[in-house]
């Protein structure tokens, strides 16, 4: 059974100017322990897909969601807001581009760990939470966990906060980790270290990952399988190697041609409304 199965997902926003269709029926699945990338340029619909999987858009007025999202065989749309909230941070967690956006600036790291751990173990004692957090920080190669637990995020470097965020995201051993271009807010060396660390940890724990990125170089290093999204539609999917060696869709080829080198950098604009991008979905046969 897939950890995540998305079928025909549609999303539109009701704006004062009228409805805006954002996702046009995307389908995607992730097996246990699999690392899957969703790659596409800015505005293609990657983040909204992640927000739906996290259950964050379902209750937003003005957002209309169709299709099906199943997490471990359970339909997210059939769950109450409370049930979805319970999944977040426990069974499904997320790592963001910028660690400062998800760490709370006014609480020490130790207190924030306690809160995260309490989602899976309500009423966990301070001593137990601190011992568990210490172990988790050691796992992400932080050598002085006591100091870090007693610090506020602003007292730590960006790279250190990123490690803390990875440790927190994996604290409750979630089945699914969503990673939205982790480390892009940091320098390239730290970004590479962050990705290495994340890969090692998810491998160790058999965590499935949905990795969101516009950087094909990073995707090639990290993902087992790739979905290419263009304007709310999946235009190509397949094992990473097959997609990179034989990109079948004109949009994938354009993304590759415009690829920033592995040292990062922004993605140059892709020509607007190139009619060839309306070519049909390309699926690479081997789904292993």
If the CB atoms of residues 22 and 164 are measured against ligand ATP, the closer one turns out to be 22
Of the candidates 35, 90, 119, 214, which one interacts with ligand ATP according to CB under 6 A? 214
If the CB atoms of residues 54 and 242 are measured against ligand ATP, the closer one turns out to be 54
If the CB atoms of residues 86 and 195 are measured against ligand ATP, the closer one turns out to be 195
Q: How far is the CB of 263 from ligand ATP (least distance, A)?
A: 19
Residue 29 to residue 80: CA distance in whole angstroms? 23
Of the candidates 2, 47, 151, 184, which one interacts with ligand ATP according to CB under 6 A? 47
Query: Is 182 near ligand ATP (CB under 6 A)?
Result: no
Query: Is 183 near ligand ATP (CB under 6 A)?
Result: no
Query: Is 21 near ligand ATP (CB under 6 A)?
Result: no
Query: Is 43 near ligand ATP (CB under 6 A)?
Result: yes
Contacts to ligand ATP from residues 230-249, by CB under 6 A = none
Of the candidates 3, 9, 37, 46, which one interacts with ligand ATP according to CB under 6 A? 46
Of the candidates 5, 36, 37, 44, which one interacts with ligand ATP according to CB under 6 A? 44
If the CB atoms of residues 143 and 269 are measured against ligand ATP, the closer one turns out to be 269
If the CB atoms of residues 40 and 145 are measured against ligand ATP, the closer one turns out to be 40
Neighbouring residues of 237: CB distance < 8 A, sequence distance ≥ 6? 28, 225, 226, 227, 228, 243, 281, 282, 283, 284
Query: Is 48 near ligand ATP (CB under 6 A)?
Result: yes
Query: Is 45 near ligand ATP (CB under 6 A)?
Result: yes
Residue 52 to residue 278: CA distance in whole angstroms? 25
Residue 9 to residue 88: CA distance in whole angstroms? 20
| Cβ proximity of 49 and 228 under 8 Å | no
Number of residues in contact with ligand ATP, rule: CB under 6 A? 12
Residue 270 to residue 176: CA distance in whole angstroms? 31
Please choose, out of 43-51, 115-123, 145-153, 216-224, the segment that lies near ligand ATP by the rule CB under 6 A: 43-51
Site of interaction with ligand ATP (CB under 6 A): 13, 20, 22, 40, 42-48, 214
């Amino acid at each position: 059974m897939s950890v995540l199965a998305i079928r025909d997902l549609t999303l539109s926003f009701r704006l004062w100017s009228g409805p805006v269709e954002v996702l046009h029926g995307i389908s995607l699945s992730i097996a246990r322990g699999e690392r899957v990338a969703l790659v596409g340029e800015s505005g293609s619909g990657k983040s909204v897909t992640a927000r739906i999987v996290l259950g964050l858009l379902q209750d937003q007025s003005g957002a209309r969601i169709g299709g099906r999202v199943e997490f471990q065989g359970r339909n997210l749309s059939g769950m109450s807001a409370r049930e979805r909230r319970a999944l977040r941070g426990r069974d499904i967690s997320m790592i963001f581009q910028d660690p400062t956006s998800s760490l709370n600036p006014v609480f020490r790291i130790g207190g924030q760990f306690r809160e995260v751990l309490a989602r899976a173990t309500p009423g966990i004692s301070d001593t137990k939470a601190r011992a568990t957090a210490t172990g988790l920080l050691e796992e992400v190669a932080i050598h002085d966990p006591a100091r870090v637990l007693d610090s506020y995020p602003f007292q730590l470097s960006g790279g250190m906060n990123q490690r803390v965020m990875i440790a927190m995201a994996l604290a409750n051993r979630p089945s699914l980790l969503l990673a939205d271009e982790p480390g892009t807010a940091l320098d390239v060396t730290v970004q590479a270290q962050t990705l290495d660390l994340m890969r090692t940890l998810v491998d160790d724990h058999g965590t499935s990952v949905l990795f969101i990125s516009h950087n094909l170089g990073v995707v090639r290093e990290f993902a087992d399988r790739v979905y290419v999204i263009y304007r709310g539609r999946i235009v190509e999917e397949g094992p990473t190697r097959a997609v990179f060696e034989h990109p079948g869709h004109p949009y994938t080829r354009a993304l590759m041609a415009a690829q920033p080198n592995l040292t990062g950098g922004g993605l140059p604009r892709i020509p607007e409304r190139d009619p060839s991008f309306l070519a049909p979905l390309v699926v690479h046969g081997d789904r292993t």
